[in-house]
């Protein structure tokens, strides 16, 4: 029987490649928490990859699915919710995240993000622009919103997943 450690869910946000999926996998194992990877959940329900959803229905449709899912997840307990990188860009989503639990922002430098996503072909917002300059620009545009949403901020450059998780737990 898993011991319930937290009385709230943990909501991970941040740019692509900031480490949300890696950290959520690790935390869920460490603390026997449930995990919802929002991109995965949306993709499973739509029976389509994220790039296909963007290409077929457009970004707005995907953003709408994110909002609905964030609302639905408020009934979950003992759960780590790993958001897609753009989920904090909608004002209404930030409010829904706060109702979901403690919002943790993971950050990484454009260079680190580039190293982590450069071989990825499932990031439609990069539109093939997997280069440091484009990443830096998009990150800067989004920074204010990420920071507004966050209860806790953790920088992940040059840290192991264990170090990031320890820091996260200590700040909760």
**Site map 50..79 versus ligand S3P, x via CB under 6 A:** x-----------------------------
Question: How many beta carbons lie within 10 A of that of residue 97, not counting itself?
Answer: 25
> Is 88 annotated for ligand binding?
no
Pairing of strands 101-107, 79-82: unpaired
In angstroms, give the least distance from the CB of 31 to ligand S3P: 21
For residue 124, state whether it binds ligand S3P (rule: CB under 6 A). Answer: yes
d(CA 130, CA 126): 6
> Is 21 annotated for ligand binding?
yes
d(CA 32, CA 26): 10
d(CA 159, CA 69): 31
Question: How many beta carbons lie within 10 A of that of residue 114, not counting itself?
Answer: 18
Q: Which of 48, 71, 125, 169 binds ligand S3P (CB under 6 A)?
A: 125
Question: How many beta carbons lie within 10 A of that of residue 103, not counting itself?
Answer: 23
For residue 85, state whether it binds ligand S3P (rule: CB under 6 A). Answer: yes
Q: Which of 19, 84, 101, 110 binds ligand S3P (CB under 6 A)?
A: 84
Binding site per annotation, positions: 17-22, 39, 63, 85, 123, 142
**Residues at the annotated binding site for substrate?**
39, 63, 85, 142
Binding site for ligand S3P (CB under 6 A): 16, 20, 39, 50, 84-86, 123-125
């Amino acid at each position: 029987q898993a011991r319930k450690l937290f009385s709230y869910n943990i909501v991970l946000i941040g740019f692509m490649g900031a480490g949300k999926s890696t950290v959520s996998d690790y935390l869920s194992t460490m603390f026997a928490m449930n995990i919802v990877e929002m991109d995965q959940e949306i993709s499973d329900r739509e029976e389509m990859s994220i790039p296909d959803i963007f290409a077929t229905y457009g970004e707005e449709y995907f953003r709408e699915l994110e909002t609905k899912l964030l609302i639905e997840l408020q009934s979950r307990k003992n759960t780590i919710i790993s958001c897609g990188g753009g989920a904090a860009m909608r004002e209404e989503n930030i409010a829904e995240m706060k109702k979901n639990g403690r919002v943790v922002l993971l950050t990484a430098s454009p260079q680190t993000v580039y190293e982590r996503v450069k071989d990825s072909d499932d990031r439609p917002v990069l539109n093939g622009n997997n280069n440091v300059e484009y990443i830096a620009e998009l990150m800067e545009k989004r920074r204010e919103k990420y920071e507004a949403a966050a209860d806790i901020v953790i920088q992940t450059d040059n840290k192991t997943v264990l170090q990031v998780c320890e820091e996260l737990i200590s700040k909760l």
